[in-house]
Amino acid sequence: MKRIGLLTSGGDCQALNAAMRGVVKGMSESTSELEVYGFLNGYKGLIYGNYKLLTSADFSGILTKGGTIIGSSRQPFKLMRTPDEKGLDKVEAMKQNYYKLNLDCLVILGGNGTQKTANLLREEGLHIIHLPKTIDNDIYGTDVTFGFQSAINIACDAIDCIHTTAASHDRVFIVEVMGHKVGWLTLYAGMASGADIILLPEIPYDIDKVIDGIEKRKAAGKGFTILAVAEGAISKKDAKLSKKELKKKMEQYKYPSVSYEIADLINKKTGIEVRVTVPGHTQRGGSPCPYDRVLCTRLGAEAARSIMDEEYGCMIAMVNGKVKRVPLGEVAGKLKMVNPDSQIIKQAKYVGISFGD
C-alpha cells in the first residue's frame, strides 16, 4: 500500500489540477494499492488536519480544469516557526498530521514560499516532493514552471486587444502584467504581442528614456505606443534607494500601482494622455493551455516514479527539455530572475524594443 498526500499552496494557476492528475495517474499505473489524501486549502489543511481521501473519480476530467480541486491559501514561510493565535506549533502540527496518516510521501505544488516550507519539512524528516508552480516562472533550478505559458497566453491576448483600440485612436496604452518581483511574464507576453516598450524589475527604467521611445515612434509616423509594464517595475531613481527609504516612499504612495505612476509622469512631462489596463487575476484563471497540460503530465509522471523509487527531498524540474529530480536543498529560497545581459534581452533590443534604460 502506498499512501501519498497532495497539497497546493500559494496563488493558484491554471494547471494545478493537471499536475495532481499526472501524479495520481502515474501512481495508479505503478501500484494497485494506493491511497491519496488531499490537504485542503494549502498548508492550513496540513497544520489543522483538514483533509479528505480522494478517489480516482476526483481526478477524472480535471486535465483541462483550472484552479485546484483541494483549494489553496498563502502561508508566509517567515511565520511558519511562529505559533498561531492559540499557541499551536505549526511545524510540529504538520509533522503529526503527516505521521497520523502514515504517508509515504507528501507532494507539494507551489511557488517560492511554498518551496521554502517544503524544504523545511524535508529538513524535519518528512518525505517531500515539490512540483514547481507559478505564473511568474521565478523558481530557481527549472527552466519553466507550470502556469507560466497559460498566463503568457492570457497576458498576450490582453495586449493584442489593446493594440486595435490604441491604433484606432493613436493612443499610448500601458498594460500591467503580473510577475511579482521578476519580469519573465512581462518579457514573454510583451515580445509575443509586439509591445513597443517593456519595463521589467530587473532593468530599472529612466522615465525620460521611456518618453524618448514614445516620441521616436511619433516621429516615425506611428501614432500609438504599447507599454508592457511588470507589476514590480522600478525606476532607476527608486532602485538606488535603500530598503528603508523605499518602504517609506511606498507608505506615502498615491498610485494604485507603478503603471499609474508611469502614466502620470508621461502625461505631466508631455501632455500625452495615457490609458492603463490591468488584466490582473485573469492571468491566473481559465483552463491550462496545451503546453501546460503536457508539462504537468510529464512532471506528475516523474513525481510518481520518484515516489516508487523512494527518492524524496527533490523538486521535479524541466532542464534542457528533460524532466529531472533536483535536490530541494540546492534550490529552495533562490529566485530565478531575468538576466539583463541575456540573449533574449539583446535580441528584443535589436528589433527595436525599448526597456527604458
d(CA 309, CA 324) in angstroms, rounded, equals 14
The sheet carrying 314-319 orders its strands as: 51-54, 34-39, 2-8, 105-110, 128-132, 314-319, 322-327
H helix runs in the chain, sequence order: 16-30, 43-48, 90-100, 112-123, 148-169, 184-192, 207-219, 236-239, 243-251, 258-270, 290-308, 328-331, 343-350
DSSP 228-274: EEETT--BHHHHTS-HHHHHHHHHT--SSSHHHHHHHHHHHHH---E
Q: Identify the active-site residue in 12, 58, 89, 136.
A: 136
136 catalytically annotated: yes
d(CA 135, CA 145) in angstroms, rounded, equals 7
Cell of 106: 507528501
H helix runs in 52-147, sequence order: 90-100, 112-123
Beta bridge partners of 317: 324
| Contact yes or no for 257/278 (Cβ under 8 A) | yes
Cell of 203: 532593468
Q: How distant, in Å, are the alpha carbons of 118, 182, 343 from that of 202? A: 27, 7, 15
Cell of 318: 524541466
Q: If DSSP codes are grouped into helix, strand and coil, which group holds residue 321?
A: coil
Residues that are catalytic:
136
